[in-house]
Structure 1
């Protein structure tokens, strides 16, 4: 529908018709002339000036009068600057504008108040839109209105939900979870108190290390007057072996414990002490007691490696001459590893950090090394996260392999390991230099240099050579533009060729680096990952969990829930990264064959028979429960209390 002026009249006042386009333009011109004359009388401005200002404000008399009166007092600096900017834009980018010379001179028609969707009266335009070849400027990035929540928002919500969960946390296990063990699913070892849940995870992880089960099953029980001991450490090791027996032979899904935790005099978690530190203290206590008992009973005789303890020495290698022994030997069991969230890419890889812990290279060419003399069957890494010097944009995670080879840390391989590391450092230096060179060629101020060059070539070839209302191209200018496009093409081709050569060199050096790192002489002592303990960074027993491997399958245990997971999840779980948490303990043990790991373990008969009796009682209780439930359902059906259909 078209809008008509209120002053328009027709012979028949009872029926109004829209003005025709020609009549409307004539009426608008007359009305504009009258309004402009009024402005001239009020402001004393020239008639053409009044018409231009009136059109600028879409016929608004009040705004036009205010503008003319301000102009009479003196030029507006802001308006002058805008006019200058517009002039510069039209001069340099005139080919993007329509021919609006007539409008700027005040000779064109005023903006119509008619809502016209046909565009019949619109002036022709020669504006062309092209697909840009330039990379986006980061400063002009758009945010989707329906974008997902930011990491900070998700983190805040997770923290709030965790605090609420922690406040409402119940120690009760749902009855449905207290059923029979499903297949080979590991049994949950659940501490009676939330503050000691970390210790239950440590014990459960130790149980899933084959060597720990095999050695502990050989220990003879300590009896006091033929009875169960009641004092530490005999009582502690008694409860540990009893628990291992239950985790192996029992048929229940969840095992609730208080005796073992009490026997080991387990410290509760306290505010300000990381869960990793508490877990290390508890594990050290278990290691010391069990290893002492293994040594006392001479279970590890001859060439058999000790279960937990390895021996190491410290060597100083001068610039020239033979290595010097700083101290002969010492024993170790838990290796501390520090990681930094602001580390460079791959800077928090376990092997990299382990090498930095055991080896120190000085600027004068000398070096110090802590070398393993006699390796142990099991090695545990305690992970601690240092505070970053500056808040990094992205935190570098800890990465750890499925298998770690201890050969490069053995004393017998000192020379070979040093030669290998020197070759690795040299190749990595070459790779880093090539990557930096490629970066300087292909990126500038976080922009793609090649995309900018392609955009410039496209401009000189397809846009700059077009005639515009403000400039006509001469043959000389076209020749200059073509020459510039050719030069840019040659530059682009040269840089692309150089980047291609750099990529080939990087690939070659990387292949050599992999060959050096995979030296068969340094891959004779493989240790496989057995367990990972993880902290989300939030409080509560539901925010510490374990990954353990059982019969080739990885399982995640969170409180009383056990879930099968893939190996990729175990090796790349990002949980806790943004809270300075994550994996806090890694347990590896020497590789064994499938036959060795699956061989049955002979637990003490006292404990094995007790577990068998408990299994029978549990099955009887489950059958009685099922019969009672069936009887209840049957009685409901007989007395009509069930969900029978009412046909009345």
Structure 2
């Protein structure tokens, strides 16, 4: 006797009618998602998942609505036509309907077994009485049946008061439930406090990055943004070589000793001091309250349901607009602005526009952050596809292109889910090429893009044909067809020779239909795979692979509120690091690209920073920090080590070279800068960063 595989729509039957069948690998993954979000038992999660046909979103809805996991969903068992279709199976386009080749039962059914048994019901007939007897017989063998209670409703059982007005806005039930869950979580953790770690636990290990922590959780987004900028090689290199210019002292005493205290120079000096500490400090974390004050950072309302993307974008634009004008080499200070290299802001416009000259940064033509709309559709669920739709909304009409590229490009990811289906991870590559968006490559890029659209259209057409072959009114046609074959091959029996011949003929025709459908589906899968593979590499040509950019930082929000709900990934010396508040751990690149945190809360990665690819030697080039700041940080390290226990101090290694100036203890004063006499009678700035690290 030949057996046929059972599809997902036909769970494996258990010998015990009250014991669920083992979970499939796909069900295991979905159950884990449900348990992570709802914290319900795995058994209940599995029951809800199977009751909803494997749909995670509907299972979550059932749990949030308080539905019982053991409740039997309403069935259309009374519909005779539906039962016949379920038993026989229905094939749509590409094959004749199964009910057209079935014949009425014209002979009595005889069981081979000598043991008395219920009469065999011929499901191929049109007799409703036989179908009713089959239904009754199946119900008798199933044991207890769970159904809604017959008791009168009691207001005390209601999940919400009966006098609460029903929401009338055009918002889906899934959206309402998700928003309620987010708001509840925000209210629960909004008052998290700054946790000061023990001194012994604040020792930096090796090249592990330093964490930046503001005292107020409302500024965590800004701390992560500054943290990320340090790990962009181009930013770190240029900041290390910046020095105050005479114009930075115009409103101050030109003869004063010390850094600027206002204006753009003060912002750059604060960033420079921060970067020196991040490079040389031997503490595992630094408090950045004063640095954020220097940048006039705005607090994020973490108690709202609005994510940190927009405020991070505003903060980034505000900071980089200053850096763009201040970080150029001194030798280029007298050059025209249009001749200077672009660091953060690239120049863009429509491809048919003639741009002759530019003055200062103009928001009409210059951009540092590209806002990417994520709608979760299969054709635009990755960064490059979304960029193509953003820059070419009408295909070849008024294309937006990059006239002059920048060394750094940032992306704000904005999620606008419009469907209730399964949400897939938004993908972004570790490396990308911007050549297809450059003005000089418009013609070639359009040719490649046209071919990509043709391939995607072919895939859509084939997927539609696949749906016609496998689905009919939300039923799995192949599952029904296999069930019918199983019935005719293993259950339908007759001692009448004519009836046997009819059963055999029907079985043969069903098998042939199944074979034809499976062959066509296999051909569709092969063609779809080939088309998708070609579409993925359509831009892989030397002419469009000159402007390579590497992923440097990823900022993530898991959808909940609190200082540990925002975290980042940064790449440093070829290694990816994850920073959650004060905890910094090494992770693989696969973890960075496939982090599913916040997927079902409309959250996840919200800010990406790419920069032009560099050689390993260029990325690890030593920084030219000012000796004054280097000495300040090294002296602070000395103070920090002195506070440690002797046992802990014996395990600490300091990779820094000794200060160029001897250490002189600084008495506590109320000003940030003070001249202190040294052995060489040279003025020495009081280490302002010592106060920020709370060690003096």
Under TM normalisation by the shorter chain, which class is it? 0.5 to 0.7
Q: Which residue of 1 aligns with 2:623?
A: 601
In the TM superposition, residue 269 of structure 1 has moved relative to its aligned partner by 1.6
Q: Which residue of 2 aligns with 1:233?
A: 264
Match of 1:315 among 351, 370, 375: 351
Question: Does the residue aligned with 2:483 lie in a helix, a strand or coil?
Answer: helix
2:185–2:561 contact (8 Å) kept in structure 1: no
Question: Does the residue aligned with 1:216 lie in a helix, a strand or coil?
Answer: helix
Q: Distance in 2 between matches of 1:476 and 1:248?
A: 89
Q: Give a deviation string over 1:587-645, Cα, whole Å, max 9, x none.
A: 000111111111111111111111111112222222458589xxxxxxxxxxxxxxxxx
Q: Distance in 1 between matches of 2:318 and 2:221?
A: 14
Match of 2:556 among 527, 534, 546: 534
Does residue 430 of structure 2 align to residue 406 of structure 1? no
Normalised to the residue count of structure 2, the TM-score between the two structures is: 0.63
Q: Distance in 1 between matches of 2:484 and 2:112?
A: 23
How many residues end up aligned between the 2 structures?
A: 483
Q: Distance in 2 between matches of 1:608 and 1:244?
A: 10
Match of 1:586 among 600, 608, 628: 608
Does residue 488 of structure 2 align to residue 460 of structure 1? yes
Q: Which residue of 2 aligns with 1:62?
A: none
In the TM superposition, residue 274 of structure 1 has moved relative to its aligned partner by 3.9
Does residue 227 of structure 2 align to residue 204 of structure 1? yes
Q: Which residue of 1 aligns with 2:501?
A: 479
Which moved further from structure 2: 248-257 or 568-577? Answer: 568-577
Normalised to the residue count of structure 1, the TM-score between the two structures is: 0.67
Q: 1:298 to 1:485 in 2, by over 3 A?
A: same
Q: 1:154 to 1:437 in 2, by over 3 A?
A: closer
Q: Distance in 1 between matches of 2:639 and 2:393?
A: 60
Question: Does the residue aligned with 2:204 lie in a helix, a strand or coil?
Answer: coil
Question: Does the residue aligned with 2:366 lie in a helix, a strand or coil?
Answer: strand
In the TM superposition, residue 179 of structure 1 has moved relative to its aligned partner by 2.2
In the TM superposition, residue 508 of structure 1 has moved relative to its aligned partner by 3.3
| Larger RCO, structures 1/2 (Cα 8 Å, 6+ apart) | 2
In the TM superposition, residue 524 of structure 1 has moved relative to its aligned partner by 1.4
In the TM superposition, residue 97 of structure 1 has moved relative to its aligned partner by 8.6
2:200–2:644 contact (8 Å) kept in structure 1: no
1:616-635 map, 5 Å: 616-624=638-646
- Specify every segment of 5 or more residues in structure 1 that has no aligned partner in the other structure, as ranges: 1-81, 100-121, 130-139, 141-149, 317-323, 467-472, 629-648
Does residue 209 of structure 2 align to residue 174 of structure 1? no
Q: Give a deviation string over 1:471-506, Cα, whole Å, max 9, x none.
A: xx4222222222222222222222222223323322
Q: 1:178 to 1:242 in 2, by over 3 A?
A: farther
- Specify every segment of 5 or more residues in structure 2 that has no aligned partner in the other structure, as ranges: 1-77, 88-104, 122-141, 143-173, 250-255, 359-364, 651-696
Q: Which residue of 1 aligns with 2:539?
A: 517
Does residue 412 of structure 2 align to residue 368 of structure 1? no
1:301-340 map, 5 Å: 305-316=341-352, 325=354, 330-340=365-375
Q: Distance in 2 between matches of 1:545 and 1:485?
A: 60
Q: Distance in 2 between matches of 1:585 and 1:517?
A: 25
1:531–1:546 contact (8 Å) kept in structure 2: yes
Q: 1:520 to 1:241 in 2, by over 3 A?
A: same
Question: Does the residue aligned with 1:417 lie in a helix, a strand or coil?
Answer: helix
Q: Which residue of 2 aligns with 1:262?
A: 293
1:45-56 map, 5 Å: none
Q: Distance in 2 between matches of 1:609 and 1:394?
A: 55
Richer in helix (by share): 1
Q: Distance in 1 between matches of 2:582 and 2:188?
A: 19
Q: Which residue of 2 aligns with 1:384?
A: 414
In the TM superposition, residue 517 of structure 1 has moved relative to its aligned partner by 3.3
Q: Give a deviation string over 1:44-102, Cα, whole Å, max 9, x none.
A: xxxxxxxxxxxxxxxxxxxxxxxxxxxxxxxxxxxxxx9x9xxx99x999859999xxx
Match of 1:285 among 289, 312, 318: 318
Q: Which residue of 1 aligns with 2:450?
A: 422
Q: Distance in 1 between matches of 2:199 and 2:108?
A: 77
Q: Give a deviation string over 1:94-149, Cα, whole Å, max 9, x none.
A: 859999xxxxxxxxxxxxxxxxxxxxxx96448899xxxxxxxxxx9xxxxxxxxx
1:178–1:254 contact (8 Å) kept in structure 2: no
- Higher-Rg member (1/2): 1
Q: Distance in 2 between matches of 1:507 and 1:334?
A: 34
Q: 1:455 to 1:396 in 2, by over 3 A?
A: closer
Q: 1:587 to 1:580 in 2, by over 3 A?
A: same
Q: Which residue of 1 aligns with 2:683?
A: none
Q: Distance in 1 between matches of 2:332 and 2:574?
A: 28
Which moved further from structure 2: 546-555 or 613-622? Answer: 613-622
In the TM superposition, residue 235 of structure 1 has moved relative to its aligned partner by 1.7
2:199–2:644 contact (8 Å) kept in structure 1: no
Q: 1:579 to 1:361 in 2, by over 3 A?
A: same
Q: Distance in 2 between matches of 1:591 and 1:93?
A: 79
Q: Distance in 1 between matches of 2:557 and 2:538?
A: 35
Does residue 227 of structure 2 align to residue 192 of structure 1? no
